[in-house]
Chains A and B, each alone.
Chain A
């Protein structure tokens, strides 16, 4: 069980249920900065949270938060590995597994721990990185064949033989607005060579590394194009996964990011828009130094807006108005306390950002196993009770 393994329950893959269309209208209205019937809500759930939630709420083992709460959107991931190949198992016990993936990274997954560890990389020198030749970004297996892939397979859970992406899209589509997704260069480099090498080589030889970034940027741009074509109109939007910041600022200088990373986010965003797909960019950390850039690129909404990195959706709304939508920012550390009063304050305060539309309610990253099932239940109820337009938040009303 992991964050991206939700399969649709629809037996018939033809047509969409009226409820799915209603949710799509809600989502798109919000992304157009108009007020829908109520604030859209969804999230990304750790597999360990889902298990806990099932147990605590006495739900069956196949219960799924997206269906149970009728959440408003869901994102899917095709095979984005540079090299399409099965995981090579290097070690496997009941407690842990070590595999080499299609990124060439040696991944250690301890089943008790929430996140995996990258132990090594096949691409372990600048020279190898420069000469690496990836499989075709448009290879049909990325979208139409099942198999192992690192993004879906090694994360909060461990999953082999992920079903064909297109089947997942089709099975979810009758019930949800479904987004496709692509990683941007930063996410690829982390898996391909490790974050420390990526940073070191950027510092050592910025232009030479810039050329690599541009080559990988083109690779994922072409993959995004192929994904959109493979979907044949079945997608409702597109997520770009990128992580270029930590708690304090961007990892690399904003200038370097603008020169080499930003152009590819801009190109993918334009490509999605040309296909009529809104874009939600996911990037952790404190991105205040480059936030205006996302508005300039016409990204429709920014996710996850990590509260622990100092991001605050109300401050951002006051600063940038409705120039961009927001998706997330509800402080998971408050959720983890289980303190209903504190959670109520947190949720209702953040709902101010939904005034005038432009806000999708989510946590500020993902729902961890430290959040109780009852707490999440309470949060959804709060959002549904107070997130109906026109929004009235009583003591928590803030002028935006």
Chain B
């Protein structure tokens, strides 16, 4: 039996090369891809998130772990897709219209992927129409919006209105975050979840989708 502790450790320590190599070996040894994801990779990213939350890890460590996770996931995703497995949650992620900042959004994306979600990264300056299109055309069932500037916070409300008007609001859960965003603001605009940090976004998504 392959020692899969090495995969867990490689993700926690942010070693992409090892994470990829161990994943390759494990797949060659016949270990089911879903087992690798659910029993080894996701718990590793969960530990990374925990360390980030309690200031044992900082942004550099988080980025390294996310990269290690991604390198392993790149090997696994095609196999999952070929096996007919469909991600239960597909997140349309973007920085809202008028806002061009992306590091916070990217960290959230990395953590959500690490948490087992499929992330459709819509980029920055994402219009309400683009979020609606991601729901209709790509099957997103979670919308995650980010804003760094106080002046772009209203774009979150506009997007909520657009989801409502397009008749897709009931199909999705909406998460919000970013430097000026608070739980109070999230409640005011009717979002389903809020996180004050990238690591907390996974828990917020889980709470929102009830998984």
A332 to B150, Cβ gap below 8 A?
yes
Known A-B contacts A246-B104, A336-B150; the reply to A117 vs B67 at CB < 8 A is no
Q: Which residues from B are CB-within-8-Å of A196? A: 63, 103, 106
Contact digits for A112-151, partner B, Cβ 8 Å, 1 yes 0 no: 1111110000000000000000000000000000000000
Contact digits for A203-246, partner B, Cβ 8 Å, 1 yes 0 no: 11010000000000000000000000000000000000000001
Nearest to B64 among chain A residues (CB) is: A203
B101 to A115, Cβ gap below 8 A?
yes
A113 to B60, Cβ gap below 8 A?
no
Give the segment of A85-93, A248-256, A348-356, A391-399 that binds chain B.
A248-256
B100 to A113, Cβ gap below 8 A?
yes
Of B55, B60, B104, B149, which one neighbours A115 at CB under 8 angstroms? B149
How far in angstroms is the closest Cβ of chain A from B188?
12
A249 to B100, Cβ gap below 8 A?
no
Contact digits for B151-195, partner A, Cβ 8 Å, 1 yes 0 no: 110000000000000000000000000011010000000000000
Question: Within 8 Å of chain B (Cβ to Cβ): is A370?
Answer: yes
Distance in angstroms between the alpha carbons of A195 and B105 in the assembled complex:
13
Nearest to A109 among chain B residues (CB) is: B100
Question: Within 8 Å of chain A (Cβ to Cβ): is B23?
Answer: no
Task: Please name 11 pairs of A and B residues whose Cβ atoms are closer than 8 Å in the assembled complex, sorted by A.
Answer: A108-B100, A113-B99, A114-B98, A114-B151, A196-B103, A246-B104, A246-B179, A252-B59, A253-B58, A370-B150, A370-B151
A309 to B151, Cβ gap below 8 A?
no
Question: Within 8 Å of chain A (Cβ to Cβ): is B197?
Answer: yes
A309 to B55, Cβ gap below 8 A?
no
Of B14, B60, B100, B196, which one neighbours A117 at CB under 8 angstroms? B100
Nearest to B199 among chain A residues (CB) is: A248
Of B59, B179, B182, which one neighbours A199 at CB under 8 angstroms? B59
Question: Within 8 Å of chain A (Cβ to Cβ): is B125?
Answer: yes
Question: Within 8 Å of chain B (Cβ to Cβ): is A7?
Answer: no
B103 to A204, Cβ gap below 8 A?
no
**Which residues 103-134 in B have Cβ within 8 Å of A in the complex?**
103-104, 106, 124-125
How far in angstroms is the closest Cβ of chain B from A249?
5
**Which residues 31-75 in B have Cβ within 8 Å of A in the complex?**
55, 58-61, 63-64, 67
Nearest to A108 among chain B residues (CB) is: B100
**Which residues 144-189 in A have Cβ within 8 Å of B in the complex?**
none
How far in angstroms is the closest Cβ of chain A from B56?
9
Distance in angstroms between the alpha carbons of A211 and B104 in the assembled complex:
27
A199 to B60, Cβ gap below 8 A?
yes
Of B63, B64, B179, which one neighbours A308 at CB under 8 angstroms? B179
Distance in angstroms between the alpha carbons of A249 and B104 in the assembled complex:
13
Distance in angstroms between the alpha carbons of A196 and B63 in the assembled complex:
8
Of B60, B99, B106, which one neighbours A202 at CB under 8 angstroms? B60
B151 to A249, Cβ gap below 8 A?
no
Nearest to B154 among chain A residues (CB) is: A370
A200 to B63, Cβ gap below 8 A?
yes
Nearest to B124 among chain A residues (CB) is: A117
Most buried by A among B58, B106, B149: B58
Distance in angstroms between the alpha carbons of A205 and B38 in the assembled complex:
30
Q: Which residues from B are CB-within-8-Å of A289? A: 55
Question: Within 8 Å of chain B (Cβ to Cβ): is A6?
Answer: no
Q: Which residues from A are CB-within-8-Å of B104? A: 246
Q: Which residues from B are CB-within-8-Å of A117? A: 100-101, 124-125
B197 to A248, Cβ gap below 8 A?
yes
Q: Which residues from A are CB-within-8-Å of B197? A: 247-248
Question: Within 8 Å of chain B (Cβ to Cβ): is A329?
Answer: no
Q: Which residues from B are CB-within-8-Å of A306? A: 179
Question: Within 8 Å of chain B (Cβ to Cβ): is A369?
Answer: yes
Question: Within 8 Å of chain B (Cβ to Cβ): is A375?
Answer: no
Known A-B contacts A200-B67, A203-B60, A247-B196; the reply to A112 vs B98 at CB < 8 A is yes
**Which residues 292-334 in A have Cβ within 8 Å of B in the complex?**
306, 308-309, 332-333
Q: Which residues from B are CB-within-8-Å of A112? A: 98
